[in-house]
Amino acid sequence: MSPGTAGNDLREKLLAYTAIPSLRHYLIINQAKAEEFHYQRSGSEWTDVTLTAADDMILLPELGFSFTVADLYAESGVAIPEGE
């Protein structure tokens, strides 16, 4: 997500993607700072969490995959806040 696409990513695209019945996760990753929005479906309900700390974990159990914010931004040059 860039500053120019943030509004579209957080509104129009979010509505479109969360309307896909088979979609379980939607991640929006900020390219300018350590900030990820993780939307996850449980049944027919969506929950969301904003991840910003280095040790915040992004879990994608359906794929058998997980990673931290630090992993995501490794070698990117983006400053990552330490865990709280």
Grouping H, G, I as helix, E, B as strand and the rest as coil, residue 17 is helix
CA–CA separation, 79 and 33 (whole Å): 7
pLDDT in tens, the chain (84 residues): 666 776 777 778 889 999 999 999 999 998 888 999 999 999 989 999 999 999 999 999 999 999 999 999 998 888 887 755
What residue ranges in 3-44 does DSSP mark as E strands? 25-29, 36-42
Grouping H, G, I as helix, E, B as strand and the rest as coil, residue 10 is helix
Give the pLDDT score at 12.
87
Q: With residue 70 as reference, give the H or E element that holds it.
A: helix 69-73
Closest by CA position to 51, among listed 35, 66, 40: 35
pTM summary value: 0.82
